[in-house]
C-alpha cells in the first residue's frame, strides 16, 4: 500500500524546551526526504512522534488524508510506519534471525502457536538480508557483530514489516563507505517501489546520492523544504546553521619530537598483529582503515579495556606489558569509545553527574564532591563544548544525540588527560559541533596533549591529523601525511590494492 504522510501544526513541548513548533510537512510515496538540522533541532523528536513513541503536545497527523492518532509504536506499525533509530536496539543475546523477526516469527500452519517455524523464520530473515544485498549468518548471536552489522540488522528488522513509510534516523553514522553504498541501494530500491522515506543524516555529502527533497529544521522550527536539485551545498548549510565558521588546522602548530605514547610490537590474537607507532607531544595521529580492520580493538587494548597477547605500550615513560583502565587513566590516558550508549553514559543520571563521572578524583575535595564544584565544572564544559540543554539536572537521555556525544567528550576532558584516544568521536555530530571538536583537539595539541584518532570518515582524518596510519586486516600497512595524499587516494590505500582494483 502506498501512503502520503502529513503533519499539521505539530508542536512538542518538553519541560524547558519547545522541541517542535508548528511543523506542517508532507511525505510522499516514492520520495526520499532528507530531514536535516543541527544537533537538537528536533529531528528525532519528529521521528518519534511519527513512530508513535512520543505524543505531540498539539497538532495532527494524517495518512492519505485521513487523521490518525498513534498512542504507541504498535499503532504506527499498523499504519505501515517503520523506524530505524539513531541508537541501536538490537538484542545481543538473540540471533540475527530472531532480532530481525522479533515478535513476529512465522507459525507453522495448523499447529499451536507455540510451535514456531524456525526454518521458515531463518529463511525469511535470510531473504530480507539478501534483498538488501547483505550476507550475514542469521543463526549467529547479534553480539558477535560490530556496530555496523548491528545497524544492518536493525534496518532489516524495519524492512520485515513491509512498511509504506520508512524513517531512518542517522542510519549511516556508524557505517563505513562501502556499507553506506549498500544502504543507499536498498533505500533507493524501496523508494522506487513506492515507499515514502524520511532520512536523517549529518553527512551532507551523502545527499546527492539519496535525497529527492530536503527539509530543514532549526530549533524546533521548519526553516524550509526544497527539491534537492534546486539546492547547493552552501544553501543547505545556510538553511541548517545560518552560517558556519570552518576552521583549519593551524599550519604553524607542529608536534614536538618528544614521544608521549609508544606502542611496540603489540599483538592480539586474530584482532591485530605487531603494531608499532609513537604518538608525539601535541600530535594528532589518525588511524584510517575500513570497518573490521581492527582499529577499535587496538584502541581498546591500548586503553586497557581489552587485553593484548604480546608487545608493550610505553606511556609517560612507563613500559607496560599489561594494562588496566584504572592504571591507564592514572597515567593520563582517556578513551572516547565508539558506542556511547553502552560504554559511556549512565542514561538515568543527570547531565551534570555524567559530566563528572570520569573525574571524581579531580572534582572531589578529600574524596568529597561538592555540588558547587560539580556545577562549576559542568557549566564550564557546557559552555566550552556548546552543549544545548535546558538544565544540568535533567537526565542525559533528554539531550539530543549529538549533545550526548559532547557530554561524553566533556567527561573525559575533565580528567585532564595527556593522551586522548578517540574512537569515532564525531558520530552523530553536526558540522558545526564537529568543527568545535576539531578545534578542541587542536587546542589540546597546543597544550601538548597527544591524540590518537580513529574515524571511518577519511575526510575528517585528512582535515584534522598531522599524520595518518593505515590499518588493514589488523596490521599497520603504511603511514601518510595529509598534505601528501588526496582523500580519494587515502580511501584506496585503506581498501587495499585488490579492493581498489575490483572497485574501479
Ligand atoms: N525527553 C526529553 N526531555 C526534555 N527535553 C528533550 C527530551 N527529548 C528531547 N528533548 C529536547 O528536544 C530538543 C530536540 O531534540 P532532538 O533529539 O529531536 O534533536 P535532533 O534534531 O534529533 O538532534 P541530533 O542531531 O543531536 O540527534 C533538544 O533540545 C532536546 O534536548
Ligand atoms: Mg537525533
Q: Is residue 253 part of a domain?
A: no
pLDDT reading at 246 higher than 70: no
Given a contact cutoff of 8 angstroms between Cβ atoms, the answer to whether 189 and 201 are in contact is no
Provide the pLDDT for residue 500: 38
Q: How far apart are CA 87 and CA 467, in angstroms?
A: 31
- Average pLDDT over every residue of 224-233: 94
* Domain match, 379 and 424 both: no
199 CA distance to ligand 2 centroid (A)? 11
Between residues 281 and 103, which one has the greater pLDDT?
A: 281
Nearest to 469, CA basis, from 286, 221, 310, 312: 286
Strands (E), 28-182: 32-36, 58-63, 66-68, 81-84, 165-169
Q: Ligand 1 center to residue 438 CA distance, Å?
A: 23
Identify whether 337 is part of a domain: no
Atom of ligand 1 nearest to the CA of 170: 27
Q: Classify the C-alpha dihedral 78-79-80-85 as positive or negative.
A: negative
Dist CA 186 CA 86 (whole Å): 18
Residues 156-169 have a mean pLDDT of 89
Ligand 1 in reach of 415 Cβ (< 6 A) = no
Concatenate the DSSP letters of all residues of 423-446 into one string: ESTTTT--HHHHHHHHHHHHHHHH
pLDDT at 503 over 70: no
Q: Residue 106 — pLDDT band, cuts 50, 70, 90?
A: low
> Does 280 map to a domain?
yes
Same domain, 304 and 350: no
Q: Which helix H or strand E contains 408, and what residues bound it?
A: helix 401-413
**Rounded Cα distance, 432 and 60, in Å:** 32
CB 346: neighbour CB atoms within 10 A? 12
Q: Is 43 in the pocket of ligand 1 (CB under 6 A)?
A: yes
Lowest-confidence region among 115-124, 227-236, 475-484: 115-124
Is there a single domain that holds both residue 279 and residue 193?
Answer: no
Q: Is residue 281 part of a domain?
A: yes
Q: 274 in a domain, yes or no?
A: yes
Q: Is the pLDDT at 108 greater than 70, yes or no? A: no
The per-residue pLDDT for 202 is 85
Residues ≥6 apart with Cβ < 8 Å to 492: 500
36 & 142 share domain: yes
Residue 145 Cα, ligand 2 centroid: separation in angstroms? 24
41 close to ligand 1 (CB < 6 Angstrom)? yes
Largest CA distance in the chain: 76
Q: What is the mean pLDDT of the chain?
A: 85
Would 249 be classed as within a structural domain?
no
C-alpha cell at 408: 561524553
Confidence (pLDDT) at 418: 93
Rounded Cα–Cα distance for residues 233 and 353 (Å): 39
Ligand 2 centroid distance, CA of 346 (Å): 18
- Measured by CA distance, the residue closest to atom 25 of ligand 1 is 39
Nearest ligand 1 atom to alpha carbon 390: 31
Q: Give yes or no for a contact between 2 and 164, defined as CB atoms under 8 angstroms apart.
A: yes
Are 32 and 113 in a shared domain?
A: yes
Residue 400 Cβ < 6 Å to ligand 1:
yes
40 lines ligand 1 (CB under 6 A): yes
Same domain, 177 and 300: no
Distance 145 CA to ligand 1 centre (A): 29
Residue nearest to atom 2 of ligand 1 (CA): 398
**C-alpha distances out from residue 479 to 9, 326, 490, Å:** 53, 31, 10
* Cβ 349 vs Cβ 395: under 8 Å: yes
Q: Is 240 in the pocket of ligand 1 (CB under 6 A)?
A: no
Q: Looking at the predicted structure, is the pLDDT value of residue 13 above 90?
A: yes
Q: What percent of the chain has pLDDT over 70?
A: 89
| Residue 286 CB less than 6 A away from ligand 1 | no
Q: In sequence order, what are the beta bridge partners of 335?
A: 421
Measured distance CA(11)–CA(312) in Å, rounded: 56
pLDDT given for residue 172 in this prediction: 77
Query: What's the whole-number mean pLDDT along residues 21-48?
Result: 95
Together in a domain, 103 and 199: yes
Q: 456 with 369, same domain?
A: no
Confidence of residue 390 (pLDDT cuts 50, 70, 90): confident
Domain span at residue 305 reads 258-332+420-504
Query: Would you say residue 501 has pLDDT above 60?
Result: no
| Ligand 1 pocket, residue 293 CB under 6 Å | no
Query: Ligand 1 in contact with 171 (CB < 6 A)?
Result: no
Span 354-372, mean pLDDT? Answer: 62
Cα angle 490-501-494, degrees, rounded to a multiple of 5: 25
Can you list the positions of beta strands (E) in 333-483? 333-336, 419-423, 450-454, 467-472, 475-480
Atom of ligand 1 nearest to the CA of 15: 4
**CA 357, 280, 442, 301 torsion: positive or negative?**
negative
Q: Is 398 in the pocket of ligand 1 (CB under 6 A)?
A: yes
299 and 328 within one domain: yes
* pLDDT band of 499, cuts 50, 70, 90: very low
Confidence of residue 43 (pLDDT cuts 50, 70, 90): very high
Instruction: Tell me which of 400, 416, 432 is where a domain ends.
Output: 416
State mean pLDDT over 311-338: 89
pLDDT of residue 406: 83
Which atom of ligand 1 is nearest to 217's Cα?
A: 21
Residue 498 and residue 472 in one domain: yes
pLDDT grade, residue 51 (50/70/90)? very high
Domain stops at, among 188, 213, 241: 241
pLDDT-based confidence at 457, cuts 50/70/90? confident
**pTM reported for the whole predicted model:** 0.72
Cell of 49: 512522534
Predicted pLDDT of residue 473: 84
Select from 15, 73, 169, 39 the least CA-distant residue to 435: 39
Cα–Cα distance measured from residue 377 to residue 364, given in angstroms and rounded to the nearest whole number = 11
Q: What is the residue whose three cell numbers read 530543514?
A: 216
CA 408 to chain centroid = 13
Instruction: Tell which phi-psi region holds residue 52, choosing left (phi > 0), alpha (psi between -120 and 50) or beta.
Output: left
Split at pLDDT 50, 70, 90, the class of 436 is confident
* CB atoms near residue 116 (< 10 Å): 14
What order of strands is seen across the sheet that includes strand 318-320?
272-280, 259-268, 310-315, 318-320
Q: What is the pLDDT of residues 61-98, one digit of tens each?
A: 999 999 999 999 999 989 999 998 867 788 889 999 99
In a domain, 502, yes or no: yes
Residues 34, 145, single domain; the answer is yes
pLDDT band at 103; cut points 50, 70, 90: low
Q: Which three-class secondary structure string do you get for 102-129?
A: CCCCCECCCCCCCCECHHHHHHHHHHHH
Model pLDDT for residues 188-225, shown as the tens digit of each residue:
888 988 999 999 998 888 899 999 999 999 989 999 99
Is residue 108 assigned to a domain?
yes
Q: What is the residue with the minimal CA distance to atom 9 of ligand 1?
A: 398
Total number of domains in the chain: 3
- At residue 42, the pLDDT reads 95
Question: Do 267 and 289 share a structural domain?
Answer: yes
Q: Domain boundary residue among 241, 269, 299? A: 241
Sort strands 32-36 and 213-218 into parallel, antiparallel or unpaired: parallel
Distance (Å) from CA 40 to ligand 1 centroid: 5
| 141 DSSP assignment | B
**Mutation choice for ligand 1 from 11, 397, 400, 408, CB with most ligand atoms inside 8 A:** 400
Domain CATH number, residue 164: 3.40.50.300
Residues 396-415: what's their mean pLDDT? 83
Ligand 1 pocket residue status of 39, Cβ below 6 Å: yes
Q: Which residue has the higher pLDDT, 368 or 353?
A: 353
Amino acid at each position: 500500500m502506498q501512503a502520503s504522510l502529513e503533519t499539521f501544526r505539530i508542536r512538542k513541548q518538553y519541560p524547558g524546551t519547545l522541541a517542535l513548533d508548528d511543523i506542517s510537512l508532507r511525505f510522499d510515496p516514492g520520495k526520499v526526504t532528507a530531514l536535516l538540522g543541527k544537533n537538537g533541532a528536533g529531528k528525532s523528536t519528529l521521528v518519534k512522534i511519527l513512530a508513535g513513541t512520543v505524543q505531540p503536545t498539539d497538532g495532527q497527523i494524517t495518512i492519505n488524508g485521513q487523521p490518525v492518532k498513534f498512542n504507541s509504536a504498535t499503532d504506527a506499525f499498523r499504519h505501515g510506519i517503520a523506524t530505524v533509530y539513531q541508537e541501536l536496539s538490537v538484542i545481543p543475546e538473540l540471533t540475527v534471525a530472531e532480532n530481525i523477526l522479533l515478535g513476529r516469527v512465522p507459525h507453522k500452519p495448523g499447529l499451536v502457536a507455540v510451535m514456531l517455524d524456525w526454518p521458515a523464520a531463518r529463511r525469511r530473515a535470510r531473504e530480507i538480508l539478501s534483498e538488501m544485498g547483505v550476507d550475514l549468518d542469521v543463526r549467529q548471536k547479534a553480539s558477535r557483530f560490530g556496530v555496523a552489522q548491528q545497524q544492518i540488522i536493525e534496518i532489516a528488522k524495519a524492512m520485515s514489516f513491509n512498511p509504506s513509510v520508512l524513517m531512518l534516523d542517522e542510519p549511516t553514522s556508524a557505517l563505513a563507505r562501502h556499507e553506506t553504498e549498500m544502504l543507499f541501494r536498498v533505500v533507493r530500491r524501496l523508494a522506487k517501489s513506492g515507499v515514502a522515506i524520511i532520512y536523517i543524516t549529518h553527512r551532507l555529502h551523502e545527499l546527492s546520492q539519496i535525497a529527492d527533497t530536503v527539509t530543514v529544521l532549526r530549533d524546533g522550527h521548519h526553516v524550509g523544504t526544497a527539491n534537492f536539485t534546486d539546492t547547493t551545498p552552501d544553501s543547505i548549510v545556510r538553511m541548517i546553521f545560518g552560517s558556519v565558521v570552518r576552521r583549519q588546522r593551524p599550519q604553524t602548530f607542529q608536534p614536538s619530537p618528544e614521544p608521549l605514547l609508544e606502542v611496540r610490537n603489540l599483538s592480539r590474537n586474530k584482532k591485530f598483529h605487531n603494531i608499532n607507532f609513537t604518538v608525539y607531544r601535541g600530535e594528532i595521529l589518525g588511524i584510517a582503515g575500513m570497518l573490521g580492520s581492527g582499529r577499535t580493538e587496538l584502541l581498546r587494548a591500548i586503553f586497557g579495556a581489552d587485553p593484548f597477547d604480546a608487545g608493550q605500550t610505553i606511556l609517560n615513560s612507563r613500559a607496560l606489558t599489561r594494562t588496566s583502565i584504572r592504571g591507564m587513566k592514572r597515567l593520563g590516558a582517556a578513551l572516547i569509545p565508539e558506542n556511547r550508549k553502552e560504554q559511556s553514559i549512565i542514561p538515568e543520571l543527570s547531565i551534570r553527574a555524567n559530566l563528572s563521572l570520569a573525574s571524581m578524583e579531580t572534582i572531589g575535595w578529600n574524596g568529597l564532591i561538592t555540588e558547587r564544584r560539580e556545577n562549576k565544572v559542568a557549566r564550564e564544559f557546557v559552555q566550552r563544548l556548546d552543549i544545548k540543554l535546558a538544565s544540568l539536572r535533567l537526565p542525559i537521555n533528554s539531550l539530543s544525540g549529538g549533545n550526548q556525544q559532547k557530554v561524553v567528550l566533556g567527561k573525559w576532558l575533565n580528567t585532564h588527560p595527556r593522551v586522548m584516544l578517540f574512537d569515532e568521536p564525531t558520530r552523530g555530530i553536526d558540522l558545526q559541533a564537529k568543527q568545535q571538536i576539531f578545534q578542541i583537539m587542536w587546542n589540546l595539541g597546543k597544550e601538548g596533549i597527544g591524540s590518537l584518532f580513529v574515524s571511518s570518515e577519511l575526510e575528517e582524518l585528512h582535515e584534522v591529523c598531522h599524520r595518518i596510519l593505515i590499518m588493514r586486516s589488523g596490521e599497520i600497512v603504511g603511514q601518510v601525511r595529509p598534505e601528501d595524499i588526496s582523500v580519494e587516494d587515502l580511501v584506496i590505500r585503506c581498501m587495499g590494492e585488490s579492493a581498489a582494483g575490483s572497485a574501479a
